[in-house]
Amino acid sequence: MMGIHFDEQKKIFHLSAKDTSYAMEILKENYLVHLYWGKKVQSFGNSNPLQFLDRAFSGNPNKEDRTFSLDTTPQEYPQYGNTDFRKPAFQIQLENGSTITDLRYKSHEIKQGKEKLLGLPATYVEDAKEAETLEILLEDLVAGLEVKLTYTVFADYNVITRSAAIKNVGTENLKILRALSANIDFREADFELIHLPGAWGKERQVERQPLRPGLQGIESARGASSHQHNPFIALARKNTTEDFGEVFAFNLVYSGNFLAQAEVDQFQNTRVTIGINPFDFSWKLGPSETFQTPEVVMTYSDQGLGEMSRTFHELYRNRLCRGTYRDKERPILINNWEATYFDFNAEKIEEIAAAGQELGIELFVLDDGWFGKRDNDTSSLGDWFVHEEKLPNGLKELAERVENCDMQFGLWFEPEMVSVDSDLYRKHPDWCLHVPNRRKSESRNQLILDFSREDVCEEIIKQVSAILSSVPISYVKWDMNRHMTEIGSALLPSDQQRETAHRYMLGLYKVMEEITTAFPHILFESCSGGGGRFDAGILYYMPQTWTSDNTDAISRLKIQYGTSLVYPIVSMGSHVSAVPNHQVHRITSIEMRGDVAMSGNLGYELDLTKLTEEEKEAVKKQTAFYKEHRHLIQFGDFYRLLSPFEGNETAWLFVNKEKTESLVFYFRVLAEPAAPLRSIRLKGLDAKKKYIVENLGQVYGGDELAYVGLSVPHDIQGDFQSYVWHLKEV
Ligand code: DGJ
C-alpha cells in the first residue's frame, strides 16, 4: 500500500511507495530531520531514533542543550549559518548582506495525486490514485521566507520525487545563492558512488568508486546537462551487484547546469544533494515571488542495479514521456548525415529514400544543411527557410518525393543556435548570449540564442512552426551543438545576470512545450552533438534522444549499457553506419552493427545506394526482424547480463511483461586464444514456464535457462561478433 502517514504524537512522517519507506521527524525546536529511506516497513515506530550527545566543535543552536547540534543531525533541507558546517541545500542573501537562514517546520498538507511543476518538466500521474503528495512548509520569520518541500510517492513504483519551492513572504528583495532540489543525510558512509561520466562520442561510461571522507561529486557548468556528466548519481552498498543488494539513486529532471554530490562527514554520515549548480547562479526573489527547483526522482532498489534501471525505465516510459508516441512503436529511420554530410540535392535524397523503402525502412530524416545557405558549418543557423540553391523546388516538393517512396519525412533543426553569418544575426546581433565588452567565443562557428528572452523564443517558434505546418513532416530531430560561454543576457539588469542560464532552460522548455503541443503528430528526437543532453528533462518533451555521435558498434556497447542504467531503451536512438566507422575507423560486420543498433531504437545512417547485394540482404533481414520484435525491445523489460566495462563480452536481454517471449543479445569484442567456452544464465524469465529456444529448436524450462544457462556457440569466430537467441513460451 502506498500512502503518507503523519503520527501527531511522535511528529513523524512515514511515506510509503510500492516497496519503499521514507521517514522524517519534526524535532526539538521544529527542525525537520531525516530518519529513514529504504525497504518498506509496515509501520514506522522509530526503533532507531536519533541519538544526541555533546560533540566537540559542533555548536548548539540552543545553549540550554549542548547535545543538540545541526552539525550532527540528519536533515531534510539543511541550511547555512547556524551550527551545520556541511554543505547546505540552499542559501539566500538578505538586503543586509547576511546569508544565514533558520528554517523551521510551519505546517504540512497531504494530497492525493501529483501537481504539475510550473514551467518545468516532471513526472506525472494520469489518475490521482496513482500517487500521494506531501507538502511541508518551512519558514524563517526573520528573512520573510517560506520553503515548501514537496514529496510524492507512487503506488506502482519504488520512487519518491522531491522538489522545493522558495517563496519570499517578506517585504525586501531576497537573493537565492543556492537552491538544490533535495538533500538526504544517510546515517552511514559505507557506500560506493556510481555515476556516468563521458565525453563527446563516449557518453555515459559507468564509474563506481567507494566513498571517501569529504566532498565528491559531479557537475555541469556548460549550460547543458552535458556529455561530460549526467545528472544521475547512486549510492550502492559494497556488495550490490546487478541483481542483489541495495542502491539509492537520484536523477534530476533538468537539462542545464547541475550539481550532484556526496559529502562524508567526520562521523561517517553521508549527505547527498542534487539540483541546479550553484556555481555562477543566483536568483533575485522579490516580495511574493516564488522560485521552483527542478524535480529529482529518487529510486530505491534492494535487488541491485538491474531493478533500479527497470524502475527508471518503467516510470520514464509511462509517467515522464508524453504524447502520441509515448506508447507507440517507433519507426525505423534512415538519416542522411553520415551518408552525405552537407553535400546533397533532392535527387540524392530521393535515391536514398527509395533504397530505404526497398530495405524495409519507414522514415527518411533530412539532417543538417537544408536551410539558409548552409553548405558547411560556418553559416545560416537561425535562418529556418529552405536553401534554394540546393533544393530549388523547395522542401515540400522534396518531402512529397520522399513520401512517394512510401517513406515518412523527417527534418533536422538546431533552433537554439545562430551563425554569425546569418540573416538573423545580422538583424539581431544582441539576440545571442553574450557579455558586454567581451568577445563572443564561437564553438563550431556558432553562438547560442538567448532563450531567456521571450522575443527570441517567439521568433524561433514562429520560424520552426512555419516549416512544420507547410511541409508534411512526421519527425523532427532537435539538435544543439555547443556549450555556453560568456553567459549573459542583454535584457537582464546587472543584478540578475546570473539568472541567465536557468532562464534559458525555462525558455527552452516553454518553446519545446509549445512546438510539441502544436504538432502532436510529430515524433521528436532530441540531440546534442550525439548524447550531450540525454536527460529526463528533455525526455518530458521529446521521447527519443540520439544516444551518441559515435556510431561504432563496439563503442556503442559501453555507451548504450551506461545509458541503460537510467534511461529507457525506447528513448535511445541507435543507427547502423558505414565501415570503416567515421568516428573510430573500426570495421565491424553489418550483422554486429545491426545487433547493437537494434538493442535500441533502430535506424540507419549511411548511403544505402552504395550497399552491396549481400549487405542489402542483411539489412532487409534486420528491418524485418526488428519490426517483428520491436514491441518487445522498445517496451519490454531490460536485463543486463554481462558488462562491457568488466570484460570482453557484453550481453543483455529483453523480456515482455507476460514473460512469454524474450530476445537475448550476446556480443564479443576480441577473439582470444584459449577463449573461455561461455554459457549465459538468463534473467527475468518465468521459472515455471517452458520456452522454445528457436535457434536450437529445443524446449527448456525458465528455471533451467536461469540457473544452468545457455551455451554460447563456439563457432562464432573472429573479432566483433554477436549472437541473438529468440525464446518463446510453449
Ligand atoms: C550533431 C548531431 O549529433 C549529428 O547527428 C548531426 O545531426 C550533426 N550535428 C549535424 O550538424
β-strands 295-301, 20-27 pairing: unpaired
Q: Tell me the one-letter amino acid at 646.
A: E
Count, in order, helices (H) and strands (E) of the chain: 12, 38
Which residues does 647 contact at the CB level (< 8 Å), separation at least 6? Answer: none
The whole-number average pLDDT for the span 299-328 is 98
The torsion angles phi and psi of 145, rounded to 5 degrees, stand at -135, 135
Residue 489, classed as helix, strand or coil, is coil
For residue range 30-86, what is the model confidence (pLDDT) as tens digits? Answer: 999 999 999 999 999 999 999 999 999 999 999 999 999 999 999 999 999 999 999
Q: Helix crossing, 553-563 with 590-597: angle to 10°?
A: 10
- Cα atoms in the Cβ-side hemisphere of radius 13 Å centred on 380: 17
- Which one is catalytic: 549, 552, 595, 637? 549
Q: What is the pLDDT of residue 180?
A: 98
For residue range 142-183, what is the model confidence (pLDDT) as tens digits? Answer: 999 999 999 999 999 999 999 999 999 999 999 999 999 999
Helix (H) or strand (E) holding 463: helix 454-470
For residue range 601-636, what is the model confidence (pLDDT) as tens digits? Answer: 999 999 999 999 999 999 999 999 999 999 999 999
Site to probe by mutation for ligand 1, drawn from 368, 446, 544, 547 as the one with most ligand atoms within 8 Å of Cβ, is 368
Q: What is the pLDDT of residue 75?
A: 98
How far is 396 from 306, CA to CA, in rounded Å?
46
Q: What is the pLDDT of residue 295?
A: 98
How much of the chain, in percent, has pLDDT values that exceed 90?
98
Residue with CA at minimum distance from ligand 1 atom 1: 529
Confidence tier at 678 by pLDDT (50, 70, 90): confident
Report which ligand 1 atom has the smallest distance to the Cα of 477.
7
Q: What is the pLDDT of residue 674?
A: 78
For residue range 287-304, what is the model confidence (pLDDT) as tens digits? Answer: 999 999 999 999 999 999
Report which ligand 1 atom has the smallest distance to the Cα of 528.
3
Report which ligand 1 atom has the smallest distance to the Cα of 529.
3
β-strands 417-419, 3-7 pairing: unpaired
Between CA 579 and CA 583, with CA 580 as vertex, the angle to 5 degrees is 105
Confidence tier at 673 by pLDDT (50, 70, 90): confident
Which residues does 379 contact at the CB level (< 8 Å), separation at least 6? Answer: 372, 373, 419, 421, 422, 445
For residue range 461-484, what is the model confidence (pLDDT) as tens digits? Answer: 999 999 999 999 999 999 999 999
140 catalytic? Reply is no
pLDDT surpasses 90 at 1:
no
Q: How far is CA 395 from CA 84, 366, 473, in A?
A: 61, 10, 10
Q: How far is CA 326 from CA 82, 520, 570, 620, 661, in A?
A: 47, 11, 9, 27, 22
Q: Is 481 in the pocket of ligand 1 (CB under 6 A)?
A: yes
Compute, in degrees rounded to 10, the torsion defined by CA atoms 443, 447, 450, 455.
Answer: -160
Which residues does 462 contact at the CB level (< 8 Å), separation at least 6? Answer: none
How far is 95 from 97, CA to CA, in rounded Å?
5
Residue with CA at minimum distance from ligand 1 atom 9: 529
Q: How far is CA 75 from CA 192, 266, 272, 296, 546, in A?
A: 21, 16, 11, 17, 39
For residue range 122-145, what is the model confidence (pLDDT) as tens digits? Answer: 999 999 999 999 999 999 999 999
